[in-house]
């Protein structure tokens, strides 16, 4: 029995490697999806910033045109100043000029404010663009790595399963079926080490007398709490 238990424990160790690799394989599509989602969000952010930027630019051009038209208007009024006959008319024109100038001042202020905003937005946009480029490259590399890992992992898992099956094949069918049943019920761990009187499967204490028996590895003993097969691997 000692030899059989040792073999079973070896099979279990390989089983754990299989579980770890299968878990990694299973999470690969999720990782890919997360990376695609991240890229999508970065692109959307960039696109939004571009739209705001373009709208502000449009607004600025509109204001600049307004300013030009108003300046022409002032020039026209100013030229009329020499043609007026009465002081009243003259004063009226001056008032008109003053009003137009004050409108222009306001428009100029608006243009300045817009320019400040676009300057800021441009910086944000450039940052977003750089970030997208950087993450895009990183994600591309990560995808290639994941793809290669997935491909090699299939092969490695296959090899590990063969190793495990070879080990199990020399054991009695009673023992292997016990192993398989427990494995199914106990998240893949059917055989577990015992350290300082504690089952490493469920971390419950083993009665001292039973623990002494376990350390001998002479017969099949199951944990009173989790039912796993106990094996004493002293140096692990
Ligand atoms: Zn246990």
CA of 203 to the centre of ligand 1 (A): 6
Percent of the chain with pLDDT over 90: 93
**What mean pLDDT, rounded, does the chain reach?**
95
- Tell me the pLDDT tens digit for each residue of 22-61: 999 999 999 999 999 999 999 999 999 999 999 999 999 9
- With a cut of 90, say whether residue 174 has pLDDT above it: yes
Q: How far is the CA of 229 from the centre of ligand 1 (A)?
A: 8
Mean pLDDT of 136-145: 96
Q: Which pLDDT band holds residue 235 (cuts at 50, 70, 90)?
A: confident
Q: What is the mean pLDDT of residues 112-130?
A: 95
Q: How confident is the model at residue 236 (pLDDT cuts 50, 70, 90)?
A: confident
Distance from chain centroid for Cα 108: 45
- What's the pTM? 0.66
* CA 226–ligand 1 middle distance (angstroms): 4
Q: Ligand 1 center to residue 212 CA distance, Å?
A: 15
Expressed in angstroms and rounded, the spacing between residue 179 Cα and the centre of ligand 1 is 14
Cα of 5 from ligand 1 centre, angstroms: 16
Residue 223 alpha carbon to ligand 1 centre in Å: 5
Q: What is the rounded average pLDDT of the residues 106-130?
A: 96
Write out the DSSP string of the chain. Answer: -HHHHHHHHHHHHHHHHHHHHHHHHHHHHHHHHHHHHHHHHHHHHHHHHHHHHHHHHHHHHHHHHHHHHHHHHHHHHHHHTTT--SHHHHHHHHHHHHHHHHHHHHHHHHHHHHHHHHHHHHHHHHHHHHHHHHHHHHHHHHHHHHHHHHHHHHHHHHHHHHHHHHHHHTS-HHHHHHHHHHHHHTTT--EEEEETTEETTT-PBPPHHHHHHHHHT-S--B-TTT-PEEE--TT-
What are the structural domains of the chain?
26-170 (1.10.287.1490), 176-231 (no CATH)
Q: pLDDT of 194-216, one tens digit each? A: 999 999 999 999 999 999 999 99
């Amino acid at each position: 029995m000692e030899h059989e238990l040792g073999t079973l424990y070896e099979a279990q160790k390989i089983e754990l490697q299989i579980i770890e690799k299968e878990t990694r394989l299973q999470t690969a599509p999720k990782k890919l999806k997360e990376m695609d989602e991240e890229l999508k969000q970065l692109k959307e952010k960039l696109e939004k910033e571009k739209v705001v930027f373009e709208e502000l630019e449009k607004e600025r051009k509109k204001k600049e045109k307004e300013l030009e038209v108003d300046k022409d208007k002032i020039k026209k009024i100013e030229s009329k100043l020499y043609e007026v006959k009465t002081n009243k008319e003259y004063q009226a024109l001056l008032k008109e000029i003053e009003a137009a100038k004050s409108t222009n001042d306001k428009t100029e202020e608006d243009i300045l404010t817009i320019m400040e905003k676009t300057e800021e937005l441009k910086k944000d946009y450039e940052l977003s663009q750089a970030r997208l480029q950087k993450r895009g490259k990183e994600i591309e590399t990560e995808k290639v790595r994941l793809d290669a890992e997935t491909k090699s992992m299939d092969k490695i898992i296959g090899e590990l399963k063969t190793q495990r099956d070879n080990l199990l094949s020399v054991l009695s069918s009673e023992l292997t079926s016990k192993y398989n049943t427990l494995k199914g019920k106990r998240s893949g761990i059917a055989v577990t080490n015992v350290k300082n009187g504690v089952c490493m499967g469920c971390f419950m204490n083993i009665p001292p007398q039973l623990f002494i028996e376990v350390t001998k590895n002479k017969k099949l003993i199951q944990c009173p709490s989790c039912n796993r097969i106990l094996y004493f691997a002293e140096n692990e």
